[in-house]
Structure 1
């Protein structure tokens, strides 16, 4: 996007805010909707919590104990099974939490790599319009408008949102995207709630970020960040939609029904990758730009669950029966690449867009059905026990050009058991075992078989630990875990495939809550021993350390309320990541890095309207780091930047 279009975007943003203020300023003040968003204050533990555009904790949807719940397809929407090929917009979902370890206790059918559970924005009886204006020192920013619209008191309400973003990224490339959502909460009778929804994200003109792949066993020389080397025409155009509906109903104190049917699509009209290959220590490389024909992913998924609860004095028992299913259809491949002469990686490529001669594409279909039963028992003051058993049927068909149709048919029994014991009112012990059949994602852009879908895999997890609730309100969790999966990485021909087995074994620690009357803390640590085994390790083709997995991960988020200054909090976020193997053979290691963010939150009133101003200096020390996108392929991290967000509820 050029400077003129950026300027027009911000003029539109300012006009929208003024119009909203003028239109709604005389209405009766409603309860706050987004001003109260606070991930650190809302986190019950340090395992991962997101509220709005704030996130704290050790884990996210892309990294739980070194694995990705999103890649594994362990997504839930309001607790219901959801096959999601692309991200939700914040216009639809308000928050998400990672369910792993203790937080997976009493959670129906937990998964070995954790579950990410999303919550749709709430709606009630108050009319509320929330606006958020965000700016940063790179020239990027956003305008978000979310509304809560009551229609029939206590019966029907709507939530709707629209947002526009100018995204400035670490390598200097940029994009523009818009997001929109509409959802309803309908309560036709007592105990029944129906939530239909629709959302869409449009991504425009996202230039292909450069990847750096050295020609030998060394890290790429330092690259200047925020300096995009072109080409301007290598833009991605992508559209993501999610729509469907869910319902939850309670009949008395005994019967509960939950059901959901969802549809998700992700369509890329244009898609590019840019890799600086055979990079040398003098900073020169061979630039390869790859373009794809239109790509598509479409998934239909759903769940029907019936539960029966009954009480027995201080004990409560619940039986569950659930059926889940999904179908995912995708088209990928057929890309073509053009290579350019060796040159410095920072040299601008400013030529007309060439013609790419695309090849035939691969069509893939995945169908999966899951049937399960579970028991959940809770004994007040004693503890809890959850036992579940699922049977899954999995079928994949891959139709590649000029090859026979590839067929995969599998089925498996997937047991799980978790238990907790209340030693004292403040101290509890927990433990569990679970097994899963999970997706393993697609081959990365740096691989010879980029965008190829990978097979489903069987995984397992054992964990256990304790939770202590301190008298001051802080909650401490300490646990052990052992997660095992097949190991995928690039082989000697740069084909991304299964090369052995991987085990992540370690200790995780969490402390969250008020440490002092004015100080809130969310602190966590993972001390892990990731190891790869198998024929590849024995033959020396694969190292013992899995690609990109640190042995140490530490995080700290604090908020301190200044005495004598109403509504002002100082914030500090620190993340430390230990050394990581940068290639599958363990010949190169990425050094440890610590990233520090510092800022201030100011809760104030603009007239009769509650507001929140957040200012943060991200990457305070301007630390330079590299992110792995494949064996021996890297992207640069974000340099220091100043961000500002002003949220107002009308």
Structure 2
């Protein structure tokens, strides 16, 4: 007798056999089309003579046959070049890994493949791919503050490594990173107190399952030679990843010199089938001298047009930075089940900055400047950072809850030298810069403890999935902030102790499985400013934490092999200034409105595009001064865009050509908006070729950055952000045209 039909599609009638389900069709609950496994099974199981003969006896029974289709072995999207540099997931604080489509935030990333293929060494090389991000180059581009959406960042709160706080204003080598991940805007409910300047997360390279040995030799104009070794694999069940880097030579000016070296190791230690300990340690040294210094100017001086950054005399051979950053961390990960996991981490960092900062103070004519050099920003920061999270999933009736409870925080201690100094070098002009004699440096002496800052946050949250269309995410953190400041005699000069909540809530709607519409509200704490130490009624007082607020509506979707996103947002953050009553207190606001648009992926099989556009209206309100009220924030571009294109040349297998076009619009250059920094466009070109030499994979890369040798101000920023129209804004010149080449061999 015949078998009763199943819910899966029947075999074609000419086969004369009962339907056979494939594993793939079962996984999706049945399909209107025959799966590959079903078609093959039907063809093999139908005896041709029996199927075609009316006189043949019917079988009493047909044995049930189940054909299992091969498991889907397609690798996850992790930012590889062959996947169009796309990623499926991001790790956002205690939420843990989440699909980007399921995150009600604007999140962007640059992977190690893109870092390597564009020969990016520093965050400044990478940040151009984030159209909502900039670097405020206070102290220099390499030690500047990364930020998003036009808000000034904190030196610790907005920057992380593997989810734990690190010192933002020290250089980091991109060669040791798997991903640079950026969450735009507020994230205090997840990470604790922070400025609304976004969260930058440096994700370290991890050990590889297969053996990896790669050596790279590179050249950057005018004469920097760099060698980099990257090795990974498994030894007796222990995973390892080792990176070594050495680079040194003259850069784009004749008096400049850059030296970089890195030693780092990452290790995975299995402690059972469900438990793993991740260990990381690194030392990075970054020394640069002779590059153009900052150009400061008064509030009434017009910012001049940028000049050629290669001119000798804009920088001084003895001025620059010597930095060393030592970082060690450990993270313990345990899976209780498929639905429950826990993570605990600890990081220690010591960052020493020996800065001989060169400042060129422009005079009223906008051409003459007075050069001076200072050691005031020299010092060491010791930082301990922690994180812990418990994540789980529970089901109540037809509703799913993704629960999380976590804690993170840091302890930061600063050490300053007993002596600092400033030396006037002389006068020159932009049209005729000069080299000056090196001053006689003073002995800075030993360091003293200048201050402690402590932050601890506890976060709880739930993502409620009602059905395949609707979900609701809510999270709240409670944070404790305290700290002290000390003078060189060890006397406490100020202290603070505060606490508060930071909530966020998001509503998400998925009209299709490949699209998400979301609305997010966030409210976040940030450490308050300190009043001036003299001249005000409340000298030295540290204000209560500020509270920033954000509303954001966005859409994310995947079309083919391209990820698209757009977001509208409004963010406000307070600031403080001294009012008519001579009291320094919170009484103003920075309010930013913006629209972001992004796309990433393979438009065609051979063409990858990564693009983004940000329109931003950033203004100061309640400044207490009519001249600065409702004016654009200094240094924030009204328009910023970037487009990276990569083309695999079909007639020449292994050859890829790429181009990056970056545009930054005009920026206000002082509080009254009476002078502006002009917009600029840079174009970078590159090529790479993969070949096989004696059984080894060899990749050749070459490129030119700033092809048309554009002169531009890469960073413009105020002395303070409160619109008081006091102090001197500053600007830094961008990098001129540079050439680079490299060869990598994997063995």
Q: TM-score range by the shorter chain?
A: 0.7 to 0.9
Alignment of 1:257-268 (within 5 A): 257-268=342-353
CA contact (8 A) 2:515 2:555 kept: yes
Q: Does 1:163 align with 2:245?
A: yes
Aligned partner (choices 161, 179, 187) of residue 262 of structure 2: 179
Residue 313 of structure 1 deviates from its aligned partner by 7.6
1:295–1:441: structure 2 CA closer, same or farther, 3 Å change rule? farther
**Cα offset, 1:436, TM superposition:** 2.1
1:607 and 2:668 are equivalent in the alignment: no
What is the match of residue 674 of structure 2? 587
Tell me the residue number matched to 1:24.
none
Counterpart mapping for 1:211-250 below 5 A? 211-214=294-297, 216-220=300-304, 222-229=306-313, 231-250=316-335
Partner residue, 2:604? 516
2:380 is aligned with 1:296: yes
CA deviation after TM superposition for structure 1 residue 541, in Å: 4.9
Partner of 1:547: 634
Which runs of 5 or more structure 2 residues have no equivalent in the other structure? 1-74, 89-99, 101-105, 119-125, 135-145, 532-539, 719-728
- The structure 2 residue matched to 1:51, chosen from 89, 111, 114, is 111
Within 2, Cα distance between the matches of 1:566 and 1:221? 45
Cα separation, 2, equivalents of 1:292 and 1:43: 42
Given the alignment, which residue of 85, 93, 97 partners 1:41?
A: 85
SS in 2 for 1:236: strand
Task: Report the equivalent of 2:510.
Answer: 422
What secondary structure is seen at the aligned counterpart in 2 of 1:340?
strand
Q: Which moved more, 1:203-212 or 1:325-334?
A: 203-212
Whole-angstrom distance in 2 between the partners of 1:490 and 1:619: 43
For residue 148 of structure 2, give the secondary structure of its aligned residue in structure 1.
coil
Matched-pair contact (CA < 8 Å) for 2:387–2:406: yes
Which of structures 1 and 2 has the bigger CA Rg?
A: 2
TM-superposed deviation, 1:625: 0.4
**Cα distance between partner residues in 1 of 2:483 and 2:80:** 45
Match of 1:17 in 2: none
Separation in 2, partners of 1:38, 1:442: 50
| Secondary structure of the structure 2 residue equivalent to 1:342 | strand
1:636 to 708, 721, 733: 733
- CA shift in 2, pair 1:224/1:161, >3 Å: same
Counterpart mapping for 1:444-463 below 5 A: 457-463=546-552
Q: Which SS does the other structure have where 1:627 is aligned?
A: strand
Distance 1:60 1:531, change over 3 A: closer
Q: Distance in 2 between matches of 1:94 and 1:70?
A: 24
Query: Is the CA contact (8 Å cut-off) linking 2:508 and 2:518 kept in structure 1?
Result: yes
Unaligned runs of 5+ in 1: 1-30, 444-451
Distance, in Å, in 2 between the alignment partners of 1:633 and 1:64 is 19
1:47–1:58 CA contact under 8 A, matched in 2: no
Aligned equivalent of 1:394: 481
TM-score by length of 1: 0.83
Partner secondary structure for residue 688 of structure 2: strand
User: Quick one: structure 1 residues 407 and 522, their matched pair in 2 at CA, closer, same or farther if it must change by over 3 Å?
Assistant: same
Is 2:194 the counterpart of 1:150?
A: no
Cα distance in 2 for partners of 1:639, 1:39 equals 32
Deviation at 1:91, TM superposition (A): 5.2
**Cα pair distance change 1:420/1:273, threshold 3 Å:** same
Question: 1:198 is matched with which residue: 272, 278, 281?
Answer: 281
Using the TM superposition, give the Cα deviation of residue 556 of structure 1 relative to its aligned residue in structure 2, in angstroms: 0.7
1:540, 1:467 → 2: CA distance?
41
Structure 1 pair 633/120, CA: closer, same or farther in 2 (3 Å)? closer
In structure 2, the residue matched to 1:373 is 460
Report if aligned partners of 2:189, 2:477 keep a CA contact under 8 Å in 1.
no
8 Å CA contact 1:315, 1:379 repeated in 2: yes
Deviations 1:325-384 (A, max 9, x none): 211001247531111343335544342431437699771110111112111234563243
| Residue in structure 1 matched with residue 208 of structure 2 by the alignment | 124
- Contact 1:550–1:578, Cα closer than 8 Å, also in 2: yes
Q: Distance in 2 between matches of 1:104 and 1:357?
A: 43
State the partner residue of 1:139. 223
1:185 Cα deviation after fit: 0.5
Q: SS in structure 1 opposite 2:375?
A: strand
Q: In 2 relative to 1, CA 294–457 (structure 1 residues): closer, same or farther, beyond 3 Å?
A: same
Greater mean alpha carbon deviation, residues 334-343 or residues 377-386: 377-386
- Alpha-carbon displacement from aligned partner over 1:182-211 (angstroms, at most 9, x marks no partner): 121112211211101111112335346412
Shift of 1:235: 4.4
Task: Determine whether 1:98 maps to 2:195.
Answer: no
Contact kept, 8 Å, 1:214 with 1:278, in 2: the verdict is: yes
Measure how far apart 1:531 and its partner are: 1.0
Q: Residues 640 and 499 (structure 1 numbering): CA distance in 2 closer, same or farther, change over 3 Å?
A: farther
Q: In structure 2, what is the Cα distance between the partners aligned to 1:379 and 1:69?
A: 37
Aligned-pair distance for 1:88? 4.1
User: 1:498 offset after TM fit, Å?
Assistant: 7.7
Shift in alpha-carbon separation, 1:543–1:126, aligned structure 2, 3 A? same
Question: What's 1:16 paired with?
Answer: none
Rounded Cα–Cα distance in structure 2 between residues aligned with 1:209 and 1:637: 9
Residue 554 of structure 1, CA deviation: 1.2
SS at match of 2:85: helix
The 1:358/1:188 distance shift into structure 2, 3 A limit, reads closer
Deviation at 1:318, TM superposition (A): 2.2
